[in-house]
Amino acid sequence: MPFSSVNFIVLLPVLLLVYWQLPRSMKRLWLLVASGIVYLAAGWEDLALLVAITSANWISTAAFPRSQLVPKLMVVANVAALGWFKYRYFIGGLFSFDATGSLVIPLGISFYVFQLISYQIETMKGVLQERPSFLAFFLYIFFFPHHQAGPIMRPHKFLGAFIKGREWSAARFRIGVLIFLWGLFKKVWIADWLASGVVNAAYGDLHASHGMSGNALFLGVTYGVQVYADFSGYSDIAVGLGRMFGFKLDRNFHQPYIAIGPSEFWRRWHVTLSQWLRDNVYFPLGGNRKGEARTLVNLMIVMLVGGLWHGAGWCFVLWGGLHGAYNVLERLGQRWLDRVAPLKFVVFQILFMLAWIPFREPDIRSVLNLLSRGSAWVGPDTVRALMWMAAIVSFSWVEDRLERFFPRLFRRFGWLPGPAFAVAYALLLLTILTGVRRETVFIYQRF
């Protein structure tokens, strides 16, 4: 059930009202019911798979609490499950096996499998101080604000909240509503508007001409703005919903389009995935501790894994490889690039935008045809693309300043009575919902 849909907007007050009226002992059970209601909209098959995988992970560690082998085996089992449901046709094609069929990826599997792997790793390392009950563990995976498209929450930071339960806080709830509305605004008024009015038409023309027309920069920039507004909007909605139910989720975005270079971009874009890849792929490979050449190889491997995490296809491999190359280039030219920071910013922002073309396209041949033509880089759409780039950079700068100013603003108006806030929030919500054209899912739900 998309969080930007009218159905969810109507359902949410009911879920919240019942949740906060129940005694503390019953809150977690109701939250489980609420998560089931939201998740069931994707279909009972997805729900059954989630229950089965989550149960297997909890039972394995509960039955063998002191084992070092069982968590390792469960990591392998989780990776195998993800591989089967997401990559079996892609891997089969690599080895000339039958790679045909209709692959429907279960909702949120990339996100909750990574959380389960984190749980097994932290169990193996002894990071977790307290073993969770099945209910607490299931909610850690199943909590509906973040199970569809993240953020990827670490057990040692998040699991304890479901063990202890949450208490009401009016200030936390009000902040959650504001964050929720801001994310909804980005989804409805930027991402969906841009998709329906600009991006789909531009890529439709590209497909109609079999990749032989279209301005590369315009295609990349407009989709880059759309995917940022869509995914960061979802993440803000998830964080806001979490606060409304009493939980603090990690932020997933810190205005990546004001990043100076690739390394900073990935500290700002999909932050929880970047941190997961750093801790569970980059560091185990040796990080930057085994010489410069090995560091460059590790950077490329991490980005390729990040690309494949997003999807089973060569376009995602290319997308990850491009970002790997950007990181390698930045590291090799660090001393010179630091002297020309404005030029570095402009060049790498253009490169980030161009990388979005293979991210969106399923056919790598049309991508390569487009990028290899000289006419793809000049023309009136180039000017439009640069205007869009200036717009998203300006928007990101304003968003960054608003986030810095927000705590002071909230303290100034936090004394207003509840009814005044309720009326203000209702008016903001109605204003945002006037922009809804049709029910659309979030882009990252398909990962």
Active site residues: 310
Distance (Å, whole) CA 292 – CA 408: 45
- CB contact at 8 A, 199 and 337: no
CA 83 vs CA 45, 57, 76, 109, 338: distances in Å: 17, 17, 10, 10, 40
- CB contact at 8 A, 170 and 419: no
Closest CA to 276 of 250, 258, 295: 250
- CB contact at 8 A, 295 and 287: yes
Closest CA to 177 of 363, 313, 12, 402: 12
Closest CA to 8 of 173, 145, 179, 192: 145
Total residue count of the chain as it appears in this document: 447
What's CA 35's distance to the chain center, in Å?
19
Tokens of 440: 């659309």
Helix axes 44-63 and 109-125, enclosed angle (nearest 10): 0
DSSP conformation letters of 430-444: HHHHTT--S----GG
Q: Looking at 209-261, list the stretches that DSSP marks H as alpha helix, in order from N- to C-terminal side.
A: 216-244
